[in-house]
Structure 1
């Protein structure tokens, strides 16, 4: 985005958050997020629906031989009949589904919500299917009714959308929130007189992500379970390049990896001369989440963007109640909670997933890793965010498991991250990139995995017996006093380094940043995978002065400075003595 677009989104974020934050006096963040995100959801799906309606309305009236939507005016007896025919056509579900547009029933549309909210409580607002008058009971009831209508029309969202009547908010506060969202132009936006190239989907998707991040900050440690920093998600997606195939996240939170995968496709489809909407049909999304609230947030997040998804029949524990037991994915990405202690159950003894060793009962890190490997097909690749201890710990079988993973040639790349990236923990983190196939683009799938995903996208060469180490601890910037973030340039530097190594193009080891290690190199370090051990120290600029000469010169300079310090100290003592003070 250009600077003007960024300024527009920043002003929009501030405005909407300020409006939403007025609820804080009545509810804590864990509760009022349901109200705010529910309204953003309604606004978003309504805007996308109405945008398609306007497009269809123009198509119905456009006399063009190639236009299959055209409704000839001459086929109708009167202009009134013609306009009614157009209105009837606009309510046909297929026109929206063919463009992957979320269907919004009439009484759930934002225009209905906004207009009805201004009426007096008790006013008749419409007639139901039985011809009975329906009266406005409260604004919270009005919103809940809209959510009911959407769930009835969209079976995948049944039981997903949170109702707000339970929170007992007064009508005026809710009307104020509705007006704040209504007063904002999400379509054809302008900023300081300049028209922007942002679509309503981009804007509201951004707002939804921004609010998730703000709620995660407000909720502290608990909030972090549903939100992974956008820059980290983007980095992983840019490195894995999930352009087609099955994408799985066993600890999906609010679904950030899936959203970034969709954005990746949109951005890179143009480079490959593909139609983005067609390319998205080649991606299948699978996820699992144990927290019921977060599971619902993820489903809403997918619905907002028109992403088809399979999150299992319910929220469930990934280890004890796997919702996708037969899935073998092309890409697996996850940011599970670090170092979970109370995850073990007797049922997990001798589990088929522990192919490289039974994980410690007091730490789930290598349980997550092996669960993900189990769900990876023979050409698949995965990325896993873990605490730094996973790279070096030898306690409770962790060292043994790590060694077996290395000897099986599964570890493709290790990335050490800077601190202060996460809202909910200060534990230093790293990213493990593992793959079932380092052979490159000539690989063939054995269990239904796409051979194209093995290397056709990135043009991989044979990297068997090698692992790339990247030390990114000194990258990024402080976005505020607490949190660090990556710039787009940082993300591109890391991802480009990884792809250059994969492709065998213009890759070079860079001291202090990256190093391609052999299995023998890793063995020398006792199978510890900390990148700092391999990349070494960054090279210092060579000024051409021999080291011995430089040391002699600097030592002499230091002696001169010491002598000058002694002289100044004597001068100060004389001055104090002249004033009658003895130092």
Structure 2
């Protein structure tokens, strides 16, 4: 995005967040996120529906040999009859489903909400199928009615959308939120008199993602259950390049990997000469999540972007109730909970997934890793975030599992991450990249790779990134590109070179010498220091003199402080 578009989105974020944050006095973040995200969802599906309606109206009126939608004016006796026929045609559900647009019943459309919320309680809104008057009970009831109507018309969303009424938000606060969203143009955005090229899907998707991040910050530790920092997700997606095939996340949270994957397809369309909309048809999304709230958020997240998805029949524990037992995916990506202790059940003792060793009962790190390997097809690739301990721990069979993974040549790349990337934990993290096939040839996404048998790439990215604020670190686009380009150059034999202190291609024999510890720092070594031409003896003398001067200055300041405090009657 250009600077103008970024400024537009930042101001939009601030404006909408301030409007939403007014609910904080009445509800905590864990609850008011459902109210706000529910309204964002309603706004988006309604905007997408109306956008498709405008497109269809133009198609109905356009006469050409290849336009199957054309509605000839000459087939009708009058303009009124023609307009009536067009209005009826615009309400045909199949026109929307064929374009992967959610069907939005009239009572759930944003214009209906906007026009009805200001009416007095008890006002007649419309008549039901039996001809009975439907009266306004409250604004929250009106919103719930809209959400229920969308669920009823779209089976994929059955049981997904949360009721707003149970949070007992006052009508005037809900009206304020609806007006805030209504006063923002998502379909034809302008900023400082300039029309922007941003699409409504991009804007509302961005707002939804921003709100998820803000709620994660507001909720603290618990927020991390459904939100993985955008830059880490982007890094993994850029490295794996999953733009074709089956994509799976067994700990999907709010679906951040799938969203980033969709953006990846969009951003690389021109570079790789394909149509993004057509390419999306070659992606199948599979996910699983145990937390019912987060499971719903993920489904809403996919719906907002028009992505087809299979998240299983219900929220469920990935280890105990695998919702995709027969899935073999081309790409598997996940950020599972770090060092999860309460995961084991005796029913898992002889599970087929523990091919490389039974994971410790008090730590699920290698359970997640092996679950993902189990669901990876022979030519597939996977990436997962784990705590740094996974690279070196030898307790409770972890060292033996890691040894087996290395000896069977499954580990492709290890990336050490800087600290302070997460909102909910300060545990240092790393990314594991694994594949079952290093022989080379074409990957599932059509990329030609060289043989990497017996090699593992180590990348130490701990020095990359910048402090976004006092507590959170983030990657720049250049940081992400640097790491991804290094990985791809190594995979494809494109002028890859080891860089001291940053990256190293190691053999399995070298890893064995390090007792199968996979910490990148052990392999990349220290960065080479630039020689400034000053002899060591001269440099040491200069530094010693500077240190002496600083000690003298420290003594002088201490004496002055004591004098000043003495003058105020304080004895030091």
Is the TM value for this pair above 0.5? Answer: yes
Distance in 2 of aligned mates of 1:405 and 1:183: 55
Q: Which residue of 2 aligns with 1:502?
A: 491
Q: Which residue of 1 aligns with 2:530?
A: 541
Q: Could you list the per-position Cα deviations for residues 89-116 of structure 1 after superposition, in whole angstroms to 9, with x for gaps in the alignment? A: 1111121122211111111110111111
The DSSP-based 3-state class of the residue aligned with 2:331 is: strand
Q: Which residue of 1 aligns with 2:460?
A: 471
Q: Could you list the per-position Cα deviations for residues 306-327 of structure 1 after superposition, in whole angstroms to 9, with x for gaps in the alignment? A: 1111111111111111111111
Aligned residues: 557
The DSSP-based 3-state class of the residue aligned with 2:441 is: coil
Residues 88 and 401 of structure 1, relative CA distance in 2, 3 Å threshold: same
Distance in 2 of aligned mates of 1:343 and 1:76: 67
Q: Could you list the per-position Cα deviations for residues 136-186 of structure 1 after superposition, in whole angstroms to 9, with x for gaps in the alignment? A: 111011000001100110001111100011111111111111001000110
How far is 1:267 from its partner? Answer: 1.7
- Residue 456 of structure 1, aligned match among 446, 454, 459: 446
Q: Equivalences for 1:93-492 in 2 at 5 Å?
A: 93-441=93-441, 452-453=443-444, 456-457=446-447, 459-492=448-481
Residues 377 and 124 of structure 1, relative CA distance in 2, 3 Å threshold: same
- Residue 501 of structure 2, aligned match among 509, 512, 533: 512
Residues 568 and 432 of structure 1, relative CA distance in 2, 3 Å threshold: closer
Distance in 1 of aligned mates of 2:5 and 2:400: 50
Gaps of 5+ in 2: 558-572
Q: TM-score, normalised by structure 2?
A: 0.95
Q: Could you list the per-position Cα deviations for residues 323-376 of structure 1 after superposition, in whole angstroms to 9, with x for gaps in the alignment? A: 111111111000011001111111111111111111111100001000000111
Distance in 2 of aligned mates of 1:538 and 1:81: 77
The DSSP-based 3-state class of the residue aligned with 2:332 is: strand
The DSSP-based 3-state class of the residue aligned with 1:270 is: helix
The DSSP-based 3-state class of the residue aligned with 1:140 is: helix
Q: Which residue of 2 aligns with 1:89?
A: 89
Q: TM-score, normalised by structure 1?
A: 0.93
Q: Which residue of 2 aligns with 1:550?
A: 535
Distance in 2 of aligned mates of 1:158 and 1:108: 15
How far is 1:219 from its partner? Answer: 0.7
How far is 1:263 from its partner? Answer: 1.2
How far is 1:440 from its partner? Answer: 1.4
Q: Could you list the per-position Cα deviations for residues 204-247 of structure 1 after superposition, in whole angstroms to 9, with x for gaps in the alignment? A: 00000000011111111111000000111111011001111111
How far is 1:555 from its partner? Answer: 3.9
Q: Which residue of 2 aligns with 1:10?
A: 10
How far is 1:63 from its partner? Answer: 2.6
The DSSP-based 3-state class of the residue aligned with 2:14 is: helix
How far is 1:566 from its partner? Answer: 11
How far is 1:562 from its partner? Answer: 8.0
How far is 1:381 from its partner? Answer: 0.6
Q: Could you list the per-position Cα deviations for residues 443-475 of structure 1 after superposition, in whole angstroms to 9, with x for gaps in the alignment? A: xxxxxxxxx51x722x21000100000011011
Distance in 1 of aligned mates of 2:425 and 2:310: 29
Distance in 1 of aligned mates of 2:200 and 2:550: 67
Say whether 1:31 aligns with 2:31: yes
Distance in 2 of aligned mates of 1:40 and 1:27: 18
Distance in 1 of aligned mates of 2:230 and 2:324: 26
Distance in 1 of aligned mates of 2:548 and 2:284: 74
The DSSP-based 3-state class of the residue aligned with 1:367 is: helix
Q: Which residue of 2 aligns with 1:581?
A: none
Distance in 2 of aligned mates of 1:3 and 1:317: 43
Residues 5 and 564 of structure 1, relative CA distance in 2, 3 Å threshold: closer
The DSSP-based 3-state class of the residue aligned with 2:268 is: helix
Residues 85 and 558 of structure 1, relative CA distance in 2, 3 Å threshold: closer
Distance in 1 of aligned mates of 2:13 and 2:363: 38
Q: Could you list the per-position Cα deviations for residues 268-303 of structure 1 after superposition, in whole angstroms to 9, with x for gaps in the alignment? A: 232222221111111111111111111111111111
Q: Which residue of 2 aligns with 1:578?
A: none
Q: Could you list the per-position Cα deviations for residues 482-536 of structure 1 after superposition, in whole angstroms to 9, with x for gaps in the alignment? A: 1111111110110011000000011111111111111111111111000011111
The DSSP-based 3-state class of the residue aligned with 1:64 is: coil
Q: Which residue of 2 aligns with 1:579?
A: none
Distance in 2 of aligned mates of 1:296 and 1:345: 26
Q: Which residue of 2 aligns with 1:57?
A: 57
The DSSP-based 3-state class of the residue aligned with 2:272 is: coil
Worse-matched range after superposition: 403-412 or 275-284: 275-284
How far is 1:571 from its partner? Answer: 12
How far is 1:66 from its partner? Answer: 2.9
How far is 1:556 from its partner? Answer: 4.4
The DSSP-based 3-state class of the residue aligned with 1:264 is: helix
What is the root-mean-square deviation of aligned Cα atoms in Å? 1.9
How far is 1:565 from its partner? Answer: 8.9
